[in-house]
Amino acid sequence: MSAIDQKFSELRAAGKKAFIPFVTAGDPSLDLTARVLQTLSDCGAAIGEVGIPYSDPIADGPVIQASYTRALEAGCKLKDIFAAVRSVAPQLKMPLASMVSYSIILRMGADKYIADAQAAGFSGAIVPDLLIEEAGPLRELCRARDFSLIHLVTPTTPPERMLRIAESSSGFLYFVSITGITGERNEIPTDLIDKVSWLREKTELPICIGFGISQVEHVRRLAPVADGLIVGSALVRRMAEELPDAERLENVRTLASQLIQAMSK
């Protein structure tokens, strides 16, 4: 059982849902990345998702793409990300998952990536460009190390494939709310709740919804059918504002607190 499995076990026993914030490592700096993770943990976030900057991001909208570009142009390296996370992870009350391209894992070597990620304080990885047909070797390594391997399903994933992906995943299943890229949205697809509700009846794996969630109203509508909600672009945008660091962190704290409060109602 990974720390992510344990967190969901605790949340379910308490009748609570997981607020899962996404932050881009190294934007605007790795020091601030560590500080915003601490801020989000202190707010009550259940799991922290850390984006590993990549030059060809998968399904990311303009806000997160721009944050990846800034981090890479500033010279952000994987070893430095691991060092920054290692500096704060012991103080966090939430486990961490990396959002990472499979090409990064392959280049480093899957066994080394998992070992180094765990040493840094990560408890799992979301790998958006890894097909379940090719996930077997990595899945076995992750299971042997109690390291969650989190896959994604989308609104266009056929039902039978959703079930296969759920069987291949551990930690939780990432349910993409929209057909398209990440980014703040005003509306949520009308059939999303029905699709998530159907899948929840078919699997015991926690289901967390992401992409486009940025408003209190989104949270109130989706929290009843999901085990957790993932918020990314709205937080990344606040971290990118040209403000003193203390103000950026306070803006993140304010939004996170509002969304967490809405999940509990």
Which residues are designated catalytic?
49, 60
Helix, coil or strand: residue 104: helix
Q: In whole angstroms, give the CA distance from residue 114 to residue 111.
A: 5
Residue 156 corresponds to which amino acid?
A: T
Consecutive H or E run containing 31: helix 30-43
Among the listed residues 196, 257, 181, the one whose alpha carbon sits nearest the alpha carbon of residue 228 = 196
209 close to 226: Cβ distance less than 8 angstroms: yes
* Cis preceding-peptide flag for 159 (omega within 30 of 0): no
**String of b and e for 210-225 (b: at least 16 CB within 10 Å)?**
bbbbbbeebbebbbeb
The count of residues in the chain is 265
